[in-house]
Chain A
Amino acid sequence: MRLRQRAEQLFNIEHIVPVVFLFLSFFAWQVSGLTGTFVFNQVLTRFIRDGILVLSLIIPVVAGMGLNFAIIVGAMSAQAALLFVISCQVAGLGGILSVIFLSIALSVVLGFAIGHVLNRVKGKEMIVTIIIGFLANSVYQLVFLAGFGTIIPVANKEIILSRGIGVRNAVDLSMYRNTIDKFWLLKIEGLEIPLFMILVVLLFGGMIYYLLHTRFGREVKAAGSGSEKAEVAGINVNLLRIKVIILSMVLAALGQLVYLQNIGMFDVYTAHMNADVFSCAALLAGGASIKSAKIRHALIGIFLFHTLFIVSPQAGQNLFHNAALGEYFRSFVAYGTIAFALIINVKRENM
């Protein structure tokens, strides 16, 4: 039995997908002609930006709820919190703390609601979370495009569009930008390694690892393996699932905050777009599947996926004299990876 398990381990998706990505990235990188240092720095930046977001996907997968596309809601709650705090003109440390506090609060509430909804559609969580994401996006736009300035009073006029209603497209975050980003910046021959932020991401990774190895984590794994059977063992599966979603949302919110403070510019209406799809694709690229995800999948996946992401346009330019083709390639890779994961995994279930 050990042998069979070993054999399975060698040839399975968990290893094949990352290897494929590795080859693709390497090939594309060579073709693109970009320097290793440049690519490395870029990837590291993405690692920091997207790290926590991708990590937030892990626990729902283990709980058997599939890919949580609703992390976009977590991201939006962070942005909403940020906008509120900016509009109330709270600056400095107090501002940062309020943003963090508010976004956590908001994501807890939304996570609770979404968790409830998902408990009603066991088995179809993924399609529901995608639609929830779209819906939430519409609501978000409604609130900030139409609501701000009309129903919601705004103190800080700087962020409002010239016509008086609605938030501007881009809000400058220079007051928060790169405050902690450049901590402990290590420079080795052109490579820039912001140690502090990397440690932050790894810390979150460590937290999730820890959680998954507690009794709580075992219960999550049990629920993911078979929810009725877990019920029989005395686990309150519904409550567990709600907790899992709340956790995912909070992490997504925090992740989005890290992302925004790293970029420094806040594109109000588009910053969160595609956060869900690209994060899921990154997780899958690292070898995760819809049923199983580990910390290392997230960490490796971000590197692989974002390397491909960064070099594709230039590779497209060099190969076909058309950078757009490179961009299509990376869109295709992102969506295609998820489609592939969905198809392969269900096939295994039906076996």
Chain B
Amino acid sequence: MEIKNLSKRYNGIPALTNISLSVKAGEIHGIVGANGSGKSTLLNILSGSPLIRETGGYHGEISFAGNRVNLKNCAEAIRMGIGMVHQEFALLPDLTIAENIKLSREHTHKFTDRLFGPKYSFIDRKRNDESAARILQKLRLHLDVDVKIINLSTNTRQFVEIARVIDRTDLKLLLLDEPTAVLSRDDGLNLIAVFREMAQNGLGILFISHRLEEMQQICDRVTVFRDGAIVSSYEQGEISIKNLARDMIGHTVHKATAPKREIKARPAISFQQFSVKMPGEEINGLDLTVFEGEILGLTSLSGHGKLALGYGVMGMYPTGGEVIYENKKIDRMDAKANILNGIYVLPDDRQALGILPEHSLADNIIFTGNQIKNLFSINFGRPFSGFIDRKKANAHVHQLVRNFEIKCASLKQKSKELSGGNQQKVCIARALTLNPKLLIVAEPTRGIDISAKEKILQMLLDINRTNHTTIVIASSELDELKRVCDRIAVMVDGKIFKILLPDASETEFGLALAGEEGTKNEEF
């Protein structure tokens, strides 16, 4: 497979820029990169994912086995011999293991084959089950193939997913997106061995992983992605974990880091063995203490849990473990109770969860404050309570709009018409209206232009310095975290892996994100 100058944009935002790389038959080619570096997008394009086509397709040349190809959908990619093992399993939950593995390729009775053609021919259940069991054995697994997928553990599902793809005899190129992410170390190594064997038989493998150690062990070549472009490429033998880690993060543009401050050792909130079951971003056994008045950064590779903290605290997803706030254990993660106690969460998915798009920006700003804390409301007596005192509300909103330079046509403009940056300002203004003691913000500057980014970071700093609000920022922008945070906690696999100071080196961060080197938390 040969890729030349591949580019892709999502809504105008570039995800991949001029990517060129190649995978030879029998070669194991690894890809590493931090969040948003474009690696998943690349695999999506190569596997023909409908998402790519729905968001405008791609530009560039892709050649497969010497011929130029245009990947329009999954069926085509499959026909060409490309197989993909997905990060979010594409297994069908109500079907059994055998049915999943042999989907579209079931063994049928020869008799009905001749009568009705392969598609409408009666399935030979026994042969199917045997064939499925055989491929699982190749992965060193012995399972009852008659079990439905919903009854399997995540570990097992990953193996079945892989079995499904490698069962194809016409497979020429195997794409893997974090195949070992959910597996234990041993299972992961087992899998690697199987892949190596398959590569020796001529299969080309392209895979994404964050386990740098594995990359070093098995890959013939490793390419590092950053911000949608390739920054470096190493051959087997030159691969060093430190180099990979450093390349992933790159040089920080702003050398400035937050000045060291005296933070009182009074905990604002502390998590003990906290877990959040958010699909795709699970937190598992988190131990963390956030101190009063500090700005704590929370970062991780995507899917490792940083985004789930706020949601878990507000009860959006099932949680476990203990959370102690203001010296009291929080019994239930109830959004209303938490807001009344001074905790507020700004979600990362602004468009979907952060605003009321059809409401005016003024209404957005005062909404939560009005609903929960009865701010700006006039009460006429029980049934008709809670009309909005427009004058007071408008005065308040007006001041915020001025202070934060929220660009809008009027206070009544619908929030869906504002730009991303201004929407985020509205969200922060809403948080400010509540005057929380603890503010958890996720991805505050995602999808926002440079000037607005500055403003927003400044807003957060102001809130912290002036109101002594404790802030936790979950973000993948290491740059920005270094500038404003007092401490930065790195999460791996749903737990806190390491807490670093903002002036730690890129390599240290890169290694921490990859979960390499050392296994102890460092509590200050």
Which residues does A use to contact B, with CB under 8 Å? 1-2, 4-5, 210-211, 213-219, 221-222, 224-226, 229-236, 291-292
Give the residue name and chain of the A residue nearest to B50 (CB). Answer: A231
Q: How far is the CA of A85 from the CA of B86 in the complex (A)?
A: 55
Q: Which of B90, B122, B147 contacts A2 (CB 8 A)?
A: B147
Q: With A216-B120, A218-B106, A221-B95 in contact, is A1–B151 under 8 Å at CB?
A: yes
B104/A214 in contact, CB under 8 A: no
Q: Which 4 A-B pairs have the closest CB atoms?
A: A225-B92, A234-B75, A225-B94, A234-B78
Q: With A215-B108, A221-B95, A225-B94 in contact, is A236–B75 under 8 Å at CB?
A: yes
A5/B148 in contact, CB under 8 A: yes
What are 21 pairs between A and B in contact, CB < 8 Å? A1-B147, A210-B122, A211-B120, A213-B122, A214-B112, A214-B123, A215-B108, A215-B118, A216-B119, A216-B120, A218-B103, A218-B106, A219-B103, A221-B95, A224-B94, A229-B92, A232-B86, A233-B74, A233-B92, A234-B75, A234-B79
The reply on B99 being an interface residue by CB < 8 A is yes
Q: Which of B75, B93, B116, B120 contacts A225 (CB 8 A)?
A: B93
Q: How far is the CA of A214 from the CA of B146 in the complex (A)?
A: 17
Q: Which of A218, A225, A232 contacts B123 (CB 8 A)?
A: A218
The reply on B91 being an interface residue by CB < 8 A is yes
The interface residues of chain B lying within 8 Å CB-to-CB of A230 are: 92
A226/B108 in contact, CB under 8 A: no
Most chain A beta-carbon contacts within 10 A, residue among B92, B99, B120, B146: B92
B103/A222 in contact, CB under 8 A: yes
Q: Which of B75, B91, B95, B106 contacts A215 (CB 8 A)?
A: B106
Q: How far is the CA of A217 from the CA of B119 in the complex (A)?
A: 9
The reply on B144 being an interface residue by CB < 8 A is yes
Most chain B beta-carbon contacts within 10 A, residue among A2, A215, A231, A292: A215
Additional A-B contact list (9), CB under 8 Å, known A210-B122, A214-B119, A215-B121: A2-B147, A5-B147, A213-B123, A216-B119, A218-B104, A218-B123, A219-B104, A233-B92, A235-B75
Q: How far is the CA of A225 from the CA of B78 in the complex (A)?
A: 21
The reply on B49 being an interface residue by CB < 8 A is yes
The interface residues of chain A lying within 8 Å CB-to-CB of B78 are: 233-234
The reply on B152 being an interface residue by CB < 8 A is yes
A222/B92 in contact, CB under 8 A: yes
Convert B100-120 into 0s and 1s, putting 1 for each residue whose CB lies closer than 8 angstroms to a CB of A.
000110101000100010111
The interface residues of chain A lying within 8 Å CB-to-CB of B121 are: 214-215
The interface residues of chain A lying within 8 Å CB-to-CB of B90 are: 229, 232-233
Interface magnitude class on chain B: 20 to 34
Q: How far is the CA of A79 from the CA of B88 in the complex (A)?
A: 49
Q: How far is the CA of A211 from the CA of B122 in the complex (A)?
A: 8
Give the residue name and chain of the B residue nearest to A236 (CB). Answer: B75
Q: Which of A1, A213, A229 contacts B152 (CB 8 A)?
A: A1
The interface residues of chain A lying within 8 Å CB-to-CB of B50 are: 231
Q: With A219-B104, A231-B74 in contact, is A214–B122 under 8 Å at CB?
A: yes
Q: How far is the CA of A5 from the CA of B121 in the complex (A)?
A: 29
Give the residue name and chain of the B residue nearest to A212 (CB). Answer: B123
Convert B117-150 into 0s and 1s, putting 1 for each residue whose CB lies closer than 8 angstroms to a CB of A.
0111111000000000000000000001011100
Min CB–CB distance B212 → chain A (angstroms): 29
The interface residues of chain B lying within 8 Å CB-to-CB of A210 are: 122
The interface residues of chain A lying within 8 Å CB-to-CB of B75 are: 234-236
Q: With A4-B151, A234-B74 in contact, is A215–B94 under 8 Å at CB?
A: no
Q: How far is the CA of A101 from the CA of B45 in the complex (A)?
A: 46
Q: How far is the CA of A234 from the CA of B90 in the complex (A)?
A: 11
The interface residues of chain B lying within 8 Å CB-to-CB of A1 are: 144, 147, 151-152
Most chain A beta-carbon contacts within 10 A, residue among B47, B78, B91, B103: B103
The interface residues of chain A lying within 8 Å CB-to-CB of B120 are: 211, 214-216
Q: How far is the CA of A292 from the CA of B95 in the complex (A)?
A: 12
The interface residues of chain A lying within 8 Å CB-to-CB of B148 are: 5
The interface residues of chain B lying within 8 Å CB-to-CB of A213 are: 122-123
The interface residues of chain A lying within 8 Å CB-to-CB of B74 are: 231-234
Give the residue name and chain of the B residue nearest to A222 (CB). Answer: B92
Min CB–CB distance B132 → chain A (angstroms): 13
Give the residue name and chain of the B residue nearest to A224 (CB). Answer: B94
Give the residue name and chain of the A residue nearest to B84 (CB). Answer: A232
Q: How far is the CA of A224 from the CA of B148 in the complex (A)?
A: 14
Q: With A1-B147, A236-B75 in contact, is A218–B99 under 8 Å at CB?
A: yes
Q: How far is the CA of A226 from the CA of B94 in the complex (A)?
A: 9
B151/A215 in contact, CB under 8 A: no
Convert B57-74 into 0s and 1s, putting 1 for each residue whose CB lies closer than 8 angstroms to a CB of A.
000000000000000001
Q: How far is the CA of A217 from the CA of B95 in the complex (A)?
A: 12
Give the residue name and chain of the A residue nearest to B79 (CB). Answer: A234
Min CB–CB distance B176 → chain A (angstroms): 15
Q: With A1-B152, A2-B144, A232-B86 in contact, is A215–B123 under 8 Å at CB?
A: yes
Min CB–CB distance B117 → chain A (angstroms): 10
Give the residue name and chain of the A residue nearest to B102 (CB). Answer: A218
B144/A222 in contact, CB under 8 A: no
Give the residue name and chain of the B residue nearest to A232 (CB). Answer: B90
The interface residues of chain B lying within 8 Å CB-to-CB of A218 are: 95, 99, 103-104, 106, 123
B103/A233 in contact, CB under 8 A: yes
Give the residue name and chain of the A residue nearest to B112 (CB). Answer: A214
Within 8 A of A (CB), among B144-183: 144, 146-148, 151-152
A5/B118 in contact, CB under 8 A: no
Q: How far is the CA of A288 from the CA of B75 in the complex (A)?
A: 32
Min CB–CB distance A347 → chain B (angstroms): 16
B119/A232 in contact, CB under 8 A: no
